[in-house]
Amino acid sequence: MHDRCHRESCYTEPALSETYRHNPAHLFRVYWKQHKETTMLRRPFFIAVTAMLTAAILAGSAKKSLAGEPNTISGATWTYLNLVTVINPNWSLVIMPGHRYEFSNDAPGVSGASNNFKKPRETFLFEIFVGPTYSQKISDQLTFKCSLWYYYMGFPNHSISPETKMEDLYSHNFEVIPQVDYKIGSLTLTNRILLHNKFYAKNAYFTTSKQRWGFSTLMRELIGFNYAVTDRVSLLLSNEWFFGVIEDGDTKDMMAGTKHLQGEPFFEVGSFNCNRLYTGFSVKILPELSLTPQYLWETTFDPHNDYELTRHRHYIYITLTYVLKPFTTN
């Protein structure tokens, strides 16, 4: 009896933390509480950084784009029909035809420009993207995507000058597009890098097969913000920089020559050569159907001529997206 009482008096209950240390539910609650506290501390910092990035985007675009009077100023519409077929939670197939139409054109920076030079080009581009997209949700905040698309660009009425006009200018390309989305609350920050790889370009200056078959790479980096006002409406702001990183060896000297061949359908020129600023909104009309109208300000430069400001183009940029889910995604 004495021994029993002695043993009972010496026995102590384990600490509460010891009791729950191996309890998964308790561990999750502790982790989630700490995560929420950390998120609350990070949110003001994230908002401040976002505001500074937005200001930097706008200031950087304006500084470069307003550096002087462009050679040409034009207005155009740019429309996409984005058809997405979801195969499973990670994979989808995209078919996206596009059309661009120029309705105004002026040449304030070109002395003695003819009326023909100032004439709007009307329909100047048909395009289509086809290929798969992979998407992986890494966490509640972070999503990674990557697309591998074939890209056709056709220019039915493109004219460099009257004596070199061709009716069937086009190029073949393939795009590699990694993208990271980070979400906090109603705000999503996007960083997208588009590697535009051209392997065939038909135009009036590339007259041999060796010149037309080549390779160049343009890197386009986009920083964007998406703020969900409601479940159906989001506000959008983004900026995209264009950098030529690989020039075609057989046509590089032609691109840097006196004709200043640049843009489509030519191979890419090296260095920074274009900037795009996007702003607008997105509306989810139906669960599978959304409409995204934006204003797009495109500014192009000639890196071979001390970054001469060559063009301002103002787009009415509209994308209609339809998502089809023929297979179960559960």
> Does CATH number 2.40.160 belong to domain 25-324?
yes
> Cα separation of 108 and 74, whole Å?
11
Above 80 in pLDDT, residue 241? yes
Residue 317 near residue 294, CB atoms below 8 Å = yes
> Cα separation of 108 and 119, whole Å?
13
Tokens of 107: 């040449």
Torsion on CA atoms 194, 145, 149, 221, rounded to nearest 10: -10
Lowest mean pLDDT among 1-5, 59-63, 168-172: 1-5
Please give the pLDDT value at position 141: 94
The predicted-structure confidence for 93-136, as pLDDT tens digits, reads as follows 999 999 999 999 987 766 566 666 678 888 889 999 999 999 99
Residue 75 near residue 104, CB atoms below 8 Å = yes
Above 60 in pLDDT, residue 162? no
What's the whole-number mean pLDDT along residues 32-50?
58
Q: Which amino acid is at 22?
A: H
Q: How far is CA 271 from CA 77, 249, 250, in A?
A: 27, 15, 18
The predicted-structure confidence for 254-299, as pLDDT tens digits, reads as follows 876 555 577 788 999 888 999 999 999 999 999 999 999 999 999 9
Tokens of 330: 């559960």
- 154 strand-pairing partners: 126, 170
Nearest to 268, CA basis, from 175, 319, 201: 201
Above 60 in pLDDT, residue 22? no
Q: How far is CA 71 from CA 74, 108, 178, 258, in A?
A: 10, 6, 34, 16
Domain boundaries, the chain: 25-324
Please give the pLDDT value at position 120: 86
